[in-house]
Amino acid sequence: MAIPFDKWLEVYQQKIKLSSAISNTVDSGEAEAIALALELNMILLIDEKRGRIVAKQKAVDIIGTAGILLLAKRKGIARRVKNRQINSGTKSKIMQNI
């Protein structure tokens, strides 16, 4: 049985607006996600390379799909995840602290 969206999903209107130079570097959805992660001081789930670069420049902690899958494996939520090349640094630090 699926959990209704209103039980786990919250909608926010971000207050921080990124500069137009950044908004021209990534698409509007990524720019808004980065701004919201900054505002709420949250980890940003992002895979797109340019978006990851901008997020890191703004000191936003990031994790990608591979990181989420490996975290699920470590926590026993996923049984099989093939370990492929994983970036060190922020992702590893975040995964150790969750």
Residues, the chain, total? 98
pLDDT grade for 85, boundaries at 50, 70 and 90: very low
Supply 70's token pair. Answer: 């490996």
Angstrom distance (rounded) from CA 35 to CA 13: 10
Question: What is the pTM (predicted TM-score) of this model?
Answer: 0.68
Q: pLDDT of 29-64, one tens digit each?
A: 898 889 889 889 999 999 999 999 999 999 999 999
Query: Widest CA span of the chain, in angstroms?
Result: 44
Domain residue ranges in the chain: 16-97
Give the count of alpha carbons within 13 A of 22, CB side only. Answer: 19
Chain center to CA of 12: 16
